[in-house]
Chain A
Amino acid sequence: MKILVIEDDQETASYVSEGLREEGHVVSSCANGHEGLVAAATERFDVIVVDRRLPGLDGLGVVKAVRGAGVKTPIIFLTTMAGVDDRVEGLEAGGDDYLVKPFAFSELLARINALGRRPPLVAEQTTLSVADLEIDLIRHRVTRAGHAVALQPREFRLLEYLARNAGRVVTRTMLLEHVWDFHFDPKTNVVETHISRLRGKIDKPFDRELIHTVRGAGYSLHAPR
């Protein structure tokens, strides 16, 4: 993917850029808001990573201007502030995701992948399928290899989120945010327990696992390789 990183802190900028390059992405870097805005408006990127605090034009201003120019590229905010207000502000300005520094690189990577490779939304899409797993989004029904699997509403949402990001790594934080709308770090294994429940229903009765644990990163739903 082609990624634009707008970040004034040299250390963070190279940490992000080099990490992304190692993952095979093409990265452009800008050290201030104005440069970043010009780059975002003139070149096509798959994802833009922008720091909230920038010299000159700040992150919020950049994103508002980029959105104002009609650029629909997914944008991730980076911030040193832990306030939830900042998250809401960032999303209202037109950002798609929000990450608080310091963050694990795997977290940023997972979020970039989730945003950048988002398949074009097909309005009529009513089912999701991964290998022999079928999810009926209208009736909230799940079958695996033709067998109906009974899920609680929250389990369904969890599976749906994993399926929408099938083949990609989904982190614990992403699940907390999207499935439970939790924007804090729980002290108990909420995600792990629910994933384990879901596995008991989706994977256990069958011989092939679809929900995979990615060490140090999160989970991924995909057909066994």
Chain B
Amino acid sequence: MRLAEYCRSAPFRIATAYAALFTLSVVAVFGVLLWSITREMTGQIEGAIERDMRPLVSAYRDGRIGRLVDAVQERADASLNGEAFYLLESRSGQVLAGNLDAVEPFSGWREINLENAGAPNRDHHSVRRVLALGVPLNGAFVFVGRNMFRITEVQETLLRSLGWAIVTTVLLALVGGAILSRGALRRVERIARATRSIVDGDLARRLPARARGDEIDLLARNINRMLDWIEELMEGLRQVTNDIAHDLRTPLSRLRQRLETAQRRERTVEGLGVAMGRAIEEIDAILGTFNALLRIAQIEAGARKAQFTRVDLSELARTIAEAYEVVAETEGQTLRATIADALVLHGDRDLLTQMLANLVENAIRHTPAGTTITLVAASGPDGTVIEVADDGPGIPADERDKVFERFYRLETSRTTPGSGLGLALVRAIAELHGAEVMLADNAPGLRVVLRFPSRRVFT
């Protein structure tokens, strides 16, 4: 992992943010500590100064400046280690006693910096911070101060610790982040490699995902599911393209042969006219296939839902039954319809009509004379059910799913004219309406069952 790459990674950014946050809280904690310690220590020093000052003031009240001078000088002489400072000045600014040079008189508390003050043995600072209390007396000024080096020492120690704490926090956060991100980055890198090879055409490739993993695994699993779906769609598209190419090439080449034969053989205008008529019929059939394909595509795209209205299914089914009873009869078959009243669907009337007609026509066209076909439309517990059944030859169980595919035709029905798109259209229309379509054994014969979920039904 290169440094630049690490710096751009999400874990690094998270680690940096954490480091900043920790630093901030460490600074805050140290700040509070510093403030309270400083305050506490300052309080103690102030107490000591006040205790020192009180006897001096009372010594002066006794009336004599001489006693005060002695008292100040005594204390100043006793302070050898540069901790305490005393000063007594006359009104004219002359130093009467103490261990300091003259200062501008003041009243009350003041923090002052004294240069070259105090004893050299404790001189670890050329400038001393001194907390001082100044009291102007009648005609004089007395000053008691205490060195603040202990406070400064504590403050410096605290600040040094703070520095180390910050450095440690930042280092820990960055190193920890690096270690954590190495794992995550490696997984992301694996996912990126996998997606690259999928983009390059390896559609079967899937992303690594642990069964019970974290968010990255969840993401990978979702992407894998999406890839499955895309692969399925691509496969479907490839299949359809192949089917179209094959199933349209066959009639087109047949048409070409016929036209060529006619051109070679027919010597009369009538003969050519007949040949052309046949050619037009074949072209119409090919165009019909095209239209059916377009329609299926359009329906599968779901574009037609806008056209949905309330459809009287009972009336629709009766129209179909009535239209095809006569057709079945002329084929030597019987069509029996049992249609419940007041069946209502939300759907596309034209498509539902075509779907039912397709099913009934399939039954008529693929069964021999003597077959009985039944059309049942009823209201079941889960919604409306339509069944088209016959007692003809039926469809072998292993082929029942395939007949819904475009251009799929049973071996036995290859000779009957048809595009092989009828059931594909039925399924597309059923799915558009949220209906389930399935083929079952009618023992003997075929039973097509359409179930419309009841949520789509309103009365």
Contacts and interface: CB of A to CB of B under 8 A. Distances in A.
Contacts of B422: 187
A109 to B, nearest CB: 16
Interface centre among A83, A182, A187 (most CB of B within 10 A): A187
Contacts of B196: none
B286 to A, nearest CB: 11
B446 interface: no
Given A84-B350, A85-B307, A180 B294 contact: no
B291 interface: yes
Nearest to A182: B353
A83 B364 contact: no
A152 B326 CA distance: 12
A82 B294 contact: yes
A190 B298 CA distance: 26
Contacts of B300: none
Interface string A169-209: 00000000000111111111110011011000000000000
A194 B306 CA distance: 34
A194 B361 contact: no
A154 interface: yes
A88 interface: yes
A56 interface: no
Residue among A82, A100, A154, A216 having the largest count of chain B Cβ atoms under 10 Å: A82
Centre residue among B291, B348, B350, B417 by max chain A CB count within 10 A: B350
Contacts of B288: 185
Contact of A188 (B298, B324, B348): B324
A102 interface: yes
Nearest to B354: A184
B331 to A, nearest CB: 8
Given A82-B295, A187-B365, A197 B326 contact: yes
Chain A binding surface SS class: loop
B386 interface: no
B324 A190 contact: yes
A197 to B, nearest CB: 6
A182 B365 CA distance: 19
Nearest to A216: B277
B350 A183 contact: yes
Contacts of A183: 350, 353-354
Contacts of A102: 287
Interface residues of A, number: 26
B326 A193 contact: yes
B364 A188 contact: yes
A186 B291 contact: no
A184 to B, nearest CB: 4
A190 B303 CA distance: 29
A188 B327 contact: yes
Nearest to A180: B323
A179 to B, nearest CB: 9
Interface string B275-307: 001000000100110010011001000011011
Interface string B245-270: 00000000000000000000000000
B427 to A, nearest CB: 16
B357 interface: yes
A196 B329 CA distance: 12
B203 to A, nearest CB: 32
A181 B318 CA distance: 13
Interface string B216-251: 000000000000000000000000000000000000
Contacts of A100: 291
A182 B323 CA distance: 10
Contacts of A88: 307
Interface in A48-91: 82-85, 88
B322 interface: yes
Contact of B357 (A84, A154, A182, A197): A182
Given A188-B361, A193-B330, A84 B324 contact: no
B418 interface: yes
Interface string B353-371: 1100100010011000000
B326 A194 contact: yes
B197 interface: no
Nearest to A153: B322
A84 B306 contact: no
Contacts of B348: 84
Contact of B319 (A181, A193, A194): A181
Given A100-B291, A188-B364, 18 more contacts: A82-B294, A85-B307, A104-B284, A154-B319, A154-B322, A181-B353, A182-B354, A183-B353, A183-B354, A184-B350, A184-B354, A184-B357, A186-B361, A187-B365, A188-B361, A190-B327, A193-B326, A193-B330
6 contacts: A104-B284, A183-B350, A184-B353, A187-B417, A188-B361, A197-B326
Interface of B: 277, 284, 287-288, 291, 294-295, 298, 303-304, 306-307, 319, 322-324, 326-327, 330, 348, 350-351, 353-354, 357, 361, 364-365, 417-418, 422
Ranked nearest first, the 7 interchain pairs of A and B with the lowest CB-CB distance are A82-B291, A184-B354, A84-B350, A193-B326, A193-B327, A183-B350, A188-B327
